[in-house]
Structures are given as C-alpha cells and as structure tokens.
C-alpha cells in the first residue's frame, strides 16, 4: 500500500478528526473534508480484489526517506539511538533499536536502575471492521528484575496478577483515544519490567514507554503520549516520586496525555480538596508536555512511516442515506426513558435501515466488498486502469486461467458499514437533543441526579449487607468480617509479603444488562472497577488496633445503566456501617460525562458537563470522569477521554459539579430504609486481643505448632494468631470457647511470683527427692520431699501418688527459671504451741530473708475489672496476661503476700470485640 508522502507525526491533524466521535462527520461542512484528505494523500492500493485484503499493508518506497541517523545496522535493523529526557528533578533514558528490532516499535526506558522494555507489533491482515479499536496490552513484572524467583511450584511467571492488570489498563486507556477510526490492524503492546531497584516505580515508566513505542511504530497514532506520577509531600508537588517519598505523600496521581491535552488521570488521596488536585494535574501536564516534545524530536529521527493508507472509513454517501431513513424515528426513540425499551427500539430501527438499503440495492453481505468501496473517487480511478486478462485457448496447457470478475456497482455498501454509520448518526442526534433541548433521555437536566434508594440488612446471615439503587443502576454490597487468615496476600517485586486486611471485589454478571454471557474469572474491567471502589473507601476505615478484623466487601452489580463502580462505593459504605465497622465518615461516588463540541449542535461552544451519566451517555459522550469522596475532599478519581483530550478549566468545572452531586447523594444515603445496624452481627466472629511477653510466644505455638493446635482443639475457638511483638488474637464463634482459650494462654504465658499459692494442682511424677507438680498447663515445679510434710517423710510415694492434687506455694525461682514449691508451708502446725509457732514463723521469715540472694520477688500484680467503652466503638476492654519481667535471683525485692490465684492476670490490657458491648 502506498503511504501519504506528507505523513509524519505532525501531519496527522486531519486524522485526529477521525479519532473523534463520528458526529463530526455528519455536519455538512465536514462531510467531504474526510474524502478530500484521503484523496489528497493519494491513498491507492497496490493490489485489488481478495488478494488486497490478505496483503501486508506497510509503507512503500514512496514514503518519506529515512533520516541518516536511522541507517540500517547489522541484520537490517535500525541504528541504536539513545536520548535523555528530563522528568522532574532527574532524567530518564530512552533507547530504541538496541533490542527488539524486528518489532514495529521497541524501546527501553530507564529511571535509576528500573528498566522497562516495551514493544509494539501489528498484524499484517486487518481484522473485521468494528467500533472498537483492536488493541491489546500485556504488562508483566519479571521477578528476576529484583533478583528473585516466583514462589510457585513452576518457578516462572504465569498469569498476570491483579496489579499488573491495573497497569495494563493504565497503558491502554490514554492510547486508545489517539488511534484514528478505520484502522483495523490488530495492535499488541507488550511491556516487561527487566530491572527494579525498589525506588523508582515502573508503572508510570510503562505508560511513557508504550507511548514512545507506538509513536516510533507504523501505527498511525495522531499524537505522542507520555505518563507521569505526581505526589504531594507537605506542600510540595513531586513528579515521579520515589517509593520512599510516596510513603509520606497525601496524593497518588497517575496522569497521561499529549503535549496539549490530558487523556487520562487516575489516583487516590486522603480527602484532598479540588483545588489541590487541579494543581497536581497542572504540574503533571507540564511534565508530560516536556516529555512529548522530546518524543516528537525522537520520532523525526527514528520513527517509521505511518500506515495512513490502511485506514478504511465508511463512504460519506452512506451517512446521508442512513440519516435520511432514520432521522425522524431517531428523535422519538432517543426520548424513551428506560434503557431496555430504548435499546430494543434502536436495534429495530437499525434493522429497518438495513432492510431498506438492501431492498434498494445499496447493501451487500459480501465481506470483501468493504475493502473495494473506500470512496467513489477511488473506485472511478481504479476503473480507468487497464486490467490484463488471459483468454482461454491462448495459453499453454497447465497455465493459470484468469477469468474476468464482474465489478460491483459503485454505490454498494457492506452491512458492517451500515451498522457503524447508524451508531454514529445515533450519537449525533443524541448530542443535538442534549445541547438544543437541555434535556437528557430520562428527562433530567445536565446536573440532575437519578432517584436513589437504599436498603440495609437485606441478608440476615451476612455480617453486613446493602442494596443500593440509583436509577437503573443497582449494586448488592455484602461485608464479611474475619481473622488474619482471611487477609489477601500480595506478592510483589519488593520481596515483602503484604497482607491486605481490606479488599473489595466487584463482579459484573451479564444478567445485570439483560444479556447472556460467560461467567468465569474476573475481567480486567471488573478488577479495575473493584480497585477504584476499594481505594475510595480505604481512608474511612478504622485502624487495625481499633478494629482488628479483616474486612471483605463484595459488590455484585444486579442492574447496570452507568456508574456501577460508583454505586459500589455508595453501597459498600452503607454495608460497612451495617456490619458494625466503626468507619470515620461516609463516602459517595459519582460519574461525570461531557459533550465537548457544543457549537456544532447549536450551543455556545462551552462544554456541557453531565452529572450521574447513564450507559448511553457514557458511550456517546466524550468523557467518563468518576469522583469519590465527601463534602470536604476527594478520596479517589478516574477519568477517561474519548476525544483528543481536555483542558484544566474543563476539569475544574467537572470537579465542582461533581462535589455538588456527592453532597446530594450523601444526603440520600442517610435516608436508607431500613438504616444500617451499626453494630456487629451475632454471626460475626468474636476477637480477643491480648499482649504477652514476646519471649513467651513460643510457649503458645509449641514445637511445630502442636501446642497452639491443641489449644484450638481443646477450647473450640476458630483460630489463634500470634505476632512477634507479643500480640495474640483469638477468634471464636462464642464467648465460652474464647474464655477457655484465654485461660489456657494466660496459664502458659504467666509470670510466676514468689509467694503465689496454687490450689488443687496435679502431681505429674514422683522422684526419690520429691514430686513434680503442674501449677498451670505446661508449667511444673519441684516440691522437695522436705516441703511435702510438716514432719519427717522417708519416701514421697508413701503418702502421695501420681494424679493426686495438692495445694502448693511458690517459694523460689532459680537462675534457670525452675520453680521450687512447698506444700508444707500451707499445712497447719497442730503440734507446736503458740509460742513455738511464733518462733517458727520468725524462723521462716528469717529463712526467707536469708534466701533473698537466690530468690527473685516482684511487686503485686493487680487486676482490673472489665470496663465497657461507649457502644459506638463496640469494644470491651478486659484484663489479660502480664508483661511482668521474669523473676531471677538477681532481683532483690521483698516477696509479696500470699494470695489465691484462680486465673492469672496482670497489667496488660486486652480487648474483646463484641456486638454485645
């Protein structure tokens, strides 16, 4: 195929119009510039007929000459080229033609010691025409980039992870609007992280690398695209901050765009005001502009000729035919309020248009027709060319006989062209009605919000549930509370296992739009929408110390007509309250739309901003801007553009209108009927949090975890989680099992005090020198034969046997922590006179004093009664095991008075999360 001689990255101004929604083609002044532009560039085919469809469409020798700096190197590839581009307070290194020289475009982008390698390839054969550009993006982080291997059995990377899917979406969304309509060669972008230094994030580099690779390739992209991250530390905005700087940032903004417009933003913040967000966007846009200017210069030196002649657009005449047939009925159909009846009416009208055009001889089902019917002018030019035909009988036997094929009529359109044009005409009339009439399909004004209804406590056995309905969009949000084992494990390049104690999972079944489809693994769209809703709700969650549960939110879309991710935010917030999670406030989400070019439809040229858009307004509009937060600020945002980009004034107007919409939605959420329960469900697990000395954690775990398993089996609790800092969390379904396990752990981890008395302790074994008595589960002490009786005892087995229970008193702890017990100290001395008893008491006291060098004493351990916090916190504070220091013979304090101990308690504070509080 021949390329346009004037093709370059700067020469695609006309093609940029093609990437706009098709209504630009329907006004009379813009009907034939499309035809003129293509004819002016002399788009001609080297092959005709069916062979033409199967040929590789590449730029021919008539394309602009390759610059000297892009000479042919070894193997026929381009000469390696490198350039440093300033980004923020440092430079990134862009290299091309070093590796991947057989790809249509390939680059490596380096920031610090983080390297991202990206390639772009095109299919030689165009796919079937569609209204969706055939672009696929794969991003993968190689564990070898951080000097690690995969933790799986096969030790290699497999299916891409959720966070990699999110980065794939970040790459795809800004590139898609820059692709011209009519380009149907399947395009694939592959991106790998080859090196990661733990300091420079690869996601923003991957966006920039993909934009540069596409700009260098043959894909007829209209503008170079780049992406940056913007952080806010204090009052300073930082472009591409390091991971250390992001730990202190109030904002995480990823922005992508061209040298003069914003194409995509996505980010999360902690109730950031709109003005600060706009300032961050301005800083990011300046950085993107600087990168794009450098990329433009790089493309002039190293870029390949663009495949402009591969763009196949429907004939302009078809727009006139479709509009003439469907215009009157379209006006009526677009006034239908409900989604399903309107969709069926549009489908019926489309079939009517096809039928009429077929009956009039304008439509053919021949799949090869479209490649031959670009424009009338091109067809007429091809007819003037001579075609060599070999007639039968004039060739030798065995030669190929080529028979003439009758040519199709000039005005014969394919069925797929009719459908594409019908959709564009529908979009045109939708926009015209919106701008001229000021009313939307459901009768709302541009800033109107659909009716909102919410119902909490819908599912009796779930820990929390809410059915949130906004117009024809409905989400069922369910909250489940659990222990640490329910947390989601994240395996990242950093090599540090991260456990998420809160995660939101979004699902979009085909039934929510009244269709039949496949149910399987979550799609990329579901993963992206779930993460957006999750990050929207994170700032209002309590800390783990205040609420030690793992929280899972499931959002199932039961009806969908626009803004289902924002419905998940609203429903998820109400479900958290219904589950008794003490959140810090309420969050609402809203999706904003836009009609950019209003002057074309009778407006004053000011962009028309739409609040709470529906599905058709998303499909036919120019913007999808989702904003979540409260009255004070924004917690999450995501913007996608379907045109060449928007400016900061438009974004400011959309943000301010979104704030008003959020206030309205928050007010409606407060009127939920029934309202959220705001207390723990009786089916939610109980959690008891206690602190023990870190060096006694092993006593709870035991060898190979045997001890903790035996405690779980004996007490009947669900799980027991232990941490290195001495925190112990007990998860149970009922209070008796929780109390039993707590008592066992208290006994295991208690710190014995000299003078403590232990009642009814079992004799575990008997030796010639005494008996071993178990004062607590797993804790034994020696009661010497001299301490078993007030009189002389020749053999311990003469009086005691294994299994007997006796009362003992702790009288000594040696340096090894071994306990010396006395039974004689608790026996009444009936033989001694009062005077003798006094002497013996003094003697015992003297003996105790003389033994202080080998005895450790401690202060009394105090116990506190249970205290109940205010009910809104749903927390009961109890007393748990002590953090007293171990007693050794190095401490020389007086022993405390004797006291009976039923269950050992101490100064440490523990908490029981309970719905009864």
Q: Name which of 33-37, 272-276, 302-306, 818-822 the model is least confident about.
A: 33-37
Q: Name which of 152-166, 444-458, 895-909 the model is least confident about.
A: 895-909
Given this model, what pLDDT does residue 32 score? 31
Average pLDDT rounded to a whole number, residues 604-610:
88
Given this model, what pLDDT does residue 744 score? 86
Average pLDDT rounded to a whole number, residues 661-682:
93
**Which of helix, strand or coil describes residue 447?**
coil
Given this model, what pLDDT does residue 605 score? 81
**Which of helix, strand or coil describes residue 635?**
strand
Highest mean pLDDT among 311-315, 481-485, 559-563, 566-570: 566-570
Given this model, what pLDDT does residue 412 score? 76
Give the number of other Cβ atoms within 10 Å of residue 102's Cβ.
Answer: 10
Cβ distance 576 to 479 under 8 Å? Answer: yes
Q: What is the separation of C-alpha 649 from the centre of its chain, rounded to a whole number of angstroms? A: 29
Q: Note if the bond before 857 is cis, omega within 30 degrees.
A: no
Task: Give, rounded to a whole angstrom, the gap between the first and last alpha carbons of the chain.
Answer: 77
Contacts of 794 (CB under 8 A, 6+ apart): none
Ramachandran angles phi, psi of 822, nearest 5°: -135, 125
- Kindly give the pairing relationship between strand 756-767 and strand 686-691: unpaired
Q: Name which of 284-293, 573-582, 666-675, 714-723 the model is least confident about.
A: 714-723
Cβ distance 174 to 207 under 8 Å? Answer: yes
**Which of helix, strand or coil describes residue 604?**
coil
**Rounded distance between C-alpha atoms, residue 169 and residue 173, angstroms:** 6
Higher pLDDT, 357 or 49: 357
Contacts of 602 (CB under 8 A, 6+ apart): 432, 435, 436
Q: Name which of 60-69, 203-212, 256-265 the model is least confident about.
A: 60-69
- Residue 825 predicted with pLDDT over 60: yes
Homologous superfamily in CATH for domain 81-302: GHMP Kinase, N-terminal domain (3.30.230.70)
The token duo for 104 is 């249509």
Given this model, what pLDDT does residue 531 score? 95
Structurally, what CATH architecture does the domain formed by 314-362+410-443 represent? Answer: Orthogonal Bundle (1.10)
Of residues 541, 531, 593, 594, the one with CA closest to residue 565: 531
**Which of helix, strand or coil describes residue 888?**
coil
**Rounded distance between C-alpha atoms, residue 288 and residue 257, angstroms:** 7
**Residue 39: pLDDT band with limits 50, 70, 90:** very low
List beta partners, residue 691. 727
**Rounded distance between C-alpha atoms, residue 832 and residue 839, angstroms:** 10
Instruction: Report the share of the chain in percent with pLDDT over 90.
Output: 43
Structurally, what CATH architecture does the domain formed by 685-749 represent? Answer: 2-Layer Sandwich (3.30)
Cβ distance 729 to 718 under 8 Å? Answer: no
- Residue 120 predicted with pLDDT over 70: yes
**Rounded distance between C-alpha atoms, residue 545 and residue 875, angstroms:** 11
Average pLDDT rounded to a whole number, residues 641-664:
90
Higher pLDDT, 239 or 53: 239
Average pLDDT rounded to a whole number, residues 616-620:
88
- Kindly give the pairing relationship between strand 135-141 and strand 114-122: unpaired
Given this model, what pLDDT does residue 850 score? 37
Q: Domains of the chain: which residue ranges?
A: 81-302, 314-362+410-443, 452-671, 685-749, 751-826
Helix and strand totals (H; E) in the chain:
19, 35
- Residue 897 predicted with pLDDT over 80: no
**Rounded distance between C-alpha atoms, residue 524 and residue 599, angstroms:** 36
**Residue 74: pLDDT band with limits 50, 70, 90:** very low
Given this model, what pLDDT does residue 12 score? 37
Contacts of 33 (CB under 8 A, 6+ apart): 14, 17
The DSSP secondary-structure symbol of 68 reads G
Q: For residue 392, what are the CA distances in angstroms to 49, 396, 403, 407? A: 21, 9, 9, 20
- Residue 62 predicted with pLDDT over 90: no
**Rounded distance between C-alpha atoms, residue 233 and residue 231, angstroms:** 6
Contacts of 164 (CB under 8 A, 6+ apart): 139, 140, 141
Question: Matching CATH topology for 81-302 and 314-362+410-443?
Answer: no
Cβ distance 588 to 570 under 8 Å? Answer: yes
CATH ID of 452-671, from 3.40.140.10, 3.40.50.920, 3.30.230.70, 3.40.50.2000: 3.30.230.70
Whose tokens are 């000479």? That residue is: 71
Cβ distance 80 to 96 under 8 Å? Answer: yes
Given this model, what pLDDT does residue 879 score? 32
* Average per-residue pLDDT for the chain: 78
- Residue 397 predicted with pLDDT over 60: no
Given this model, what pLDDT does residue 46 score? 29
Query: In degrees to the nearest 10, what's the CA dihedral of 182, 187, 193, 199?
Result: 0
- Residue 395 predicted with pLDDT over 70: no
Structurally, what CATH architecture does the domain formed by 751-826 represent? Answer: Beta Barrel (2.40)
Ramachandran angles phi, psi of 240, nearest 5°: 50, 60
Higher pLDDT, 635 or 752: 635
The DSSP secondary-structure symbol of 337 reads -
Given this model, what pLDDT does residue 27 score? 35
Q: Is residue 3 classed exposed, middle or buried when 0-12, 13-18 and 19+ CB atoms within 10 A define those classes?
A: buried
The DSSP secondary-structure symbol of 75 reads G
Of residues 902, 881, 884, the one with CA closest to residue 893: 884
Instruction: Locate the DSSP E strands across 768-839.
Output: 770-776, 779-784, 805-813, 819-822
**Rounded distance between C-alpha atoms, residue 157 and residue 153, angstroms:** 11
**Rounded distance between C-alpha atoms, residue 181 and residue 312, angstroms:** 8
Give the number of other Cβ atoms within 10 Å of residue 456's Cβ.
Answer: 23
- Residue 116 predicted with pLDDT over 90: yes
Contacts of 673 (CB under 8 A, 6+ apart): 454, 455
Whose tokens are 């301010």? That residue is: 656
**Rounded distance between C-alpha atoms, residue 61 and residue 563, angstroms:** 49
Q: What is the separation of C-alpha 513 from the centre of its chain, rounded to a whole number of angstroms? A: 24
Q: For residue 658, what are the CA distances in angstroms to 244, 277, 279? A: 32, 13, 17
Give the number of other Cβ atoms within 10 Å of residue 787's Cβ.
Answer: 21
Cβ distance 639 to 264 under 8 Å? Answer: yes
Given this model, what pLDDT does residue 244 score? 93
HSE of 265 in the Cβ direction (CA atoms, 13 Å)? Answer: 30
- Residue 500 predicted with pLDDT over 80: yes
Q: Name which of 2-11, 144-153, 352-361, 704-713 the model is least confident about.
A: 2-11
Contacts of 29 (CB under 8 A, 6+ apart): none
Higher pLDDT, 635 or 836: 635
The token duo for 608 is 């028309």
Cβ distance 717 to 668 under 8 Å? Answer: no
Cβ distance 92 to 205 under 8 Å? Answer: yes
Given this model, what pLDDT does residue 175 score? 93
Given this model, what pLDDT does residue 48 score? 33
**Residue 305: pLDDT band with limits 50, 70, 90:** very high
Contacts of 73 (CB under 8 A, 6+ apart): 79, 80, 97, 101
Q: What Rg, from alpha-carbon coordinates, does the chain have? A: 38
HSE of 184 in the Cβ direction (CA atoms, 13 Å)? Answer: 15
**Residue 23: pLDDT band with limits 50, 70, 90:** very low
Instruction: Report the share of the chain in percent with pLDDT over 70.
Output: 76
**Rounded distance between C-alpha atoms, residue 483 and residue 491, angstroms:** 20
Per residue in 178-207, pLDDT (tens digit) is 988 889 999 999 999 999 999 999 999 999
pTM, rounded to two decimals = 0.74
List beta partners, residue 588. 629
**Rounded distance between C-alpha atoms, residue 752 and residue 812, angstroms:** 10
Of residues 621, 516, 639, 624, the one with CA closest to residue 563: 624
**Rounded distance between C-alpha atoms, residue 215 and residue 304, angstroms:** 9
- Residue 118 predicted with pLDDT over 80: yes
SS3 content of the chain, % helix, strand, coil (to 5): 35, 25, 40
Given this model, what pLDDT does residue 411 score? 57
Per residue in 770-795, pLDDT (tens digit) is 999 988 776 789 999 989 888 888 88
Give the containing element (helix H, strand E) for 856. Answer: none
**Which of helix, strand or coil describes residue 690?**
strand
Contacts of 515 (CB under 8 A, 6+ apart): none
- Residue 241 predicted with pLDDT over 80: yes
Contacts of 389 (CB under 8 A, 6+ apart): 402, 403, 404
Given this model, what pLDDT does residue 251 score? 95
Average pLDDT rounded to a whole number, residues 494-520:
88
**Residue 878: pLDDT band with limits 50, 70, 90:** very low
Per residue in 423-453, pLDDT (tens digit) is 999 998 998 888 887 888 888 999 999 999 9
Give the sign of the dihedral formed by CA 559, CA 564, CA 568, CA 570: negative
Given this model, what pLDDT does residue 695 score? 84
Instruction: Locate the DSSP E strands across 525-583.
Output: 550-559
**Residue 408: pLDDT band with limits 50, 70, 90:** very low
Given this model, what pLDDT does residue 365 score? 59
- Residue 871 predicted with pLDDT over 80: no
**Residue 670: pLDDT band with limits 50, 70, 90:** very high
**Rounded distance between C-alpha atoms, residue 449 and residue 668, angstroms:** 11
Give the orientation angle of helix 162-175 with respect to helix 524-537, to 10 degrees. Answer: 100
Helices (H), 99-178: 162-175
Higher pLDDT, 129 or 577: 577
Q: What is the separation of C-alpha 443 from the centre of its chain, rounded to a whole number of angstroms? A: 35
List beta partners, residue 608. 595
């Amino acid at each position: 195929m021949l390329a346009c001689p004037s093709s370059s990255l700067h020469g695609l101004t006309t093609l940029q119009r093609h990437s706009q929604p098709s209504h630009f083609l329907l006004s009379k002044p813009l009907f034939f510039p499309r035809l003129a532009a293509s004819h002016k560039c002399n788009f001609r085919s080297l092959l005709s007929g069916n062979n033409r469809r199967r040929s590789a469409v590449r730029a021919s020798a008539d394309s602009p000459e390759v610059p000297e700096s892009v000479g042919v190197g070894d193997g026929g590839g381009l000469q390696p080229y490198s350039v440093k581009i300033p980004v923020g307070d440092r430079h990134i290194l862009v290299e091309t033609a070093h590796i991947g020289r057989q790809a249509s475009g390939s680059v490596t982008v380096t920031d610090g010691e983080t390297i991202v390698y990206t390639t772009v390839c095109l299919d030689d054969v165009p796919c079937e025409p569609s209204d969706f550009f055939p672009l696929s993006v794969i991003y993968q982080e190689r564990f070898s980039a951080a000097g690690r291997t995969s933790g799986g059995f096969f030790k290699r990377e497999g299916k891409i992870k959720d966070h990699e899917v999110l980065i794939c979406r970040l790459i795809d969304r800004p590139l898609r609007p820059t692709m011209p309509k009519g380009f149907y060669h399947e395009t694939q972008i592959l991106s790998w992280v080859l090196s990661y230094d733990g300091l420079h994030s690869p996601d923003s580099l991957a966006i920039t690398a993909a934009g540069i690779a596409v700009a260098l390739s043959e894909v007829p992209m209209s503008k170079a695209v780049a992406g940056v991250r913007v952080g806010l530390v204090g009052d300073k905005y930082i472009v591409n901050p390091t991971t250390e700087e992001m730990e202190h940032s109030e904002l995480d903004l990823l922005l992508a765009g061209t040298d003069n417009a914003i194409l995509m933003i996505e980010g999360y913040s902690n109730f950031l005001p709109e003005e600060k967000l706009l300032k961050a966007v301005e800083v990011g846009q300046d950085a993107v502009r600087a990168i794009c200017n450098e990329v433009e210069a790089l493309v002039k030196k190293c870029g390949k000729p663009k495949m402009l002649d591969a763009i196949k657009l429907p004939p302009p005449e078809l727009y006139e035919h479709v509009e003439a047939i469907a215009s009157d009925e379209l006006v009526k159909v677009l006034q239908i309020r409900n989604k399903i009846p309107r969709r069926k009416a549009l489908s019926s009208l489309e079939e009517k248009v096809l039928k009429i055009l077929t009956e009039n001889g304008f439509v053919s089902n021949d799949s090869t027709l479209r490649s031959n019917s670009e424009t009338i002018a091109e067809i007429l030019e091809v007819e003037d060319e001579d075609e060599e035909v070999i007639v039968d009988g004039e060739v030798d036997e065995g030669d190929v006989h080529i028979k003439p094929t009758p040519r199709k009529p000039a005005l014969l359109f394919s069925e797929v062209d009719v459908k594409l044009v019908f959709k564009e005409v529908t979009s045109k009339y939708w926009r015209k009605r919106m701008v001229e009439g000021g009313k939307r399909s459901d009768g709302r004004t541009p800033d109107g919000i659909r009716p909102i209804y919410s119902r909490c406590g819908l599912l009796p056995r779930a820990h929390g549930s809410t059915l949130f309905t906004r117009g024809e969009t409905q989400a069922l949000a369910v909250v489940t509370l659990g222990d640490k084992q329910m947390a989601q494990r994240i395996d990242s390049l950093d090599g540090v296992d991260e456990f998420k104690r809160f995660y939101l999972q979004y699902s979009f079944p085909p039934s929510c739009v009244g269709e039949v489809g496949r149910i399987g693994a979550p799609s990329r769209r579901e993963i992206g929408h779930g993460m957006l809703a999750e990050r929207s709700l994170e700032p209002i969650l309590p800390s783990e110390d205040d609420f030690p549960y793992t929280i899972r939110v499931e959002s199932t879309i039961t009806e969908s007509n626009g803004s289902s991710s924002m419905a998940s935010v609203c429903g998820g917030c109400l479900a958290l309250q219904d589950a008794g999670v003490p959140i810090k406030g309420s969050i609402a989400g809203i999706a904003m739309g836009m009609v950019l070019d209003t002057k074309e439809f009778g407006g004053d040229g000011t962009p028309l901003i739409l609040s709470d858009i529906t599905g058709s307004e998303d499909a036919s509009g120019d913007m999808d801007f989702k904003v979540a937060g409260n009255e004070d600020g924004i917690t999450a945002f995501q913007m996608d553009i379907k045109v060449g980009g928007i400016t900061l004034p438009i974004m400011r107007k959309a943000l301010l209108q979104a704030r008003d919409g959020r206030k309205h939605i928050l007010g409606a959420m407060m009127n939920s009927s029934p309202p959220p329960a705001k207390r723990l469900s009786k089916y939610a697990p109980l959690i008891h949090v206690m602190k023990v000395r870190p060096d006694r954690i092993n006593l709870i775990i035991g060898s190979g975890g045997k001890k903790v398993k035996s405690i779980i089996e004996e007490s009947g609790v669900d799980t027991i989680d232990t941490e290195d800092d001495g925190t112990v969390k007990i998860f149970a379904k009922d209070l008796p099992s929780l109390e039993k396990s707590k008592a066992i752990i208290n006994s295991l981890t208690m710190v014995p005090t000299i003078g403590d008395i232990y009642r009814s302790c079992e004799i575990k074994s008997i030796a010639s020198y005494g008996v071993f008595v178990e004062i607590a589960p797993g804790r034994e002490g020696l009661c010497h034969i001299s301490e078993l009786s007030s009189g002389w005892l020749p053999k311990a087995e003469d009086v005691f046997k294994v299994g007997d229970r006796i009362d003992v008193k702790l009288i000594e702890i040696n340096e090894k922590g071994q306990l010396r017990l006395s039974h004689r100290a608790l026996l009444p001395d009936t033989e001694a006179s009062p005077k003798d008893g006094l002497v013996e008491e003094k003697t015992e006291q003297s003996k105790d004093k003389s033994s202080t060098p080998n005895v450790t004493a401690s202060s009394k351990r105090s116990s506190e009664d249970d205290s109940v916090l205010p009910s809104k916190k749903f927390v009961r504070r109890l007393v748990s095991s002590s953090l007293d220091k171990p007693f050794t013979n190095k401490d020389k304090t007086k022993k405390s008075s004797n006291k009976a101990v039923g269950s050992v308690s101490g100064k440490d504070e523990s908490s029981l999360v309970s719905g009864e509080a």
